[in-house]
Amino acid sequence: MKLLIPCFLLISFSCFGQENEKRGTIKIEKSNCVRLENNDSVYAYVDMMPQFPGGMDSLNKWMNDHLLFPKSAMEENRFGTVFLSFVVKKDGTISNVVVLKGMDKDFEKEALRLMDIMPDWVPGRCNGTLSDVKINFPIKFGLK
């Protein structure tokens, strides 16, 4: 028994004294990016969301300059909002435009036309990497 304790101590010190040959660090990154459930390559939210070149003021000006209020809606004093969804790709181009909620075929047609001619956006970034990001976007039709 007297011999057993020193052997145990010797074995335990020799085990703890060994160095690990493979030294390195594990990098754990916290990401605030959220992918779409049904798509591994498109995000719903990223650290830096896509934006229209020049920001919201430029987007509002561009919309005011290019939106053509449907004549039939103007004559009938109709107004409302069309909700769209689209993906801003890594290169800033817009794709996969879908009407989420429309109220009038004339307004929907004009909203889709605007998206077709809209300039490229500044793409979104997840952890500094360019990423495809889905955007939900309202286009309001009203008379001033």
Number of domains in the chain: 1
Phi then psi for residue 110, to 5 deg, are -70, -40
**Amino acid residing at 3:** L
Tokens of 24: 């390195």
Mean pLDDT of the chain: 84
pLDDT tens across 69-82, in order?
999 988 999 999 99
Query: Which carries the bigger pLDDT value, residue 24 or residue 83?
Result: 83
Instruction: Compute CA 75 distance to the chain's CA centroid, rounded to the nearest angstrom.
Output: 38
Dihedral of the alpha carbons of 86, 93, 62, 117, in degrees to the nearest 10 = -90
Q: Give the CATH number, domain containing residue 116.
A: 3.30.2420.10
Assigned domain for 1 exists: no
Residue 18 is assigned to a structural domain of this protein: no
Least confident of 40-44, 86-90, 91-95: 40-44
Residue 108, domain extent: 31-141
Residue 51 lies in a domain: yes
The answer to whether position 111 is within a domain reads: yes
Classify residue 118: in a domain, yes or no. Answer: yes
Is position 94 within any domain? Answer: yes
**74 lies in some domain:** yes
Whether pLDDT at 137 is above 60: yes
pLDDT at position 10 over 70: no
pLDDT at 30: 61
Q: What is the pLDDT of residue 40?
A: 80
Reduce the DSSP state of residue 63 to 3 states and report it. Answer: helix
pTM: 0.75
> Rounded to 5 degrees, what are φ and ψ at 130?
-55, 140
* pLDDT, tens digit (0-9, with 9 covering 90-100), for 26-68: 444 467 899 988 878 999 999 999 999 999 999 999 999 999 9
Asked if residue 121 is part of any domain, the answer here is yes
**Joined tokens for residue 82:** 């069309």
At 60 the pLDDT is: 94
Residue ranges of alpha helices (H) inside 1-134 are: 4-17, 56-66, 71-75, 105-117
- Comparing CA positions, the residue from 56, 59, 31 lying closest to residue 46 is 31
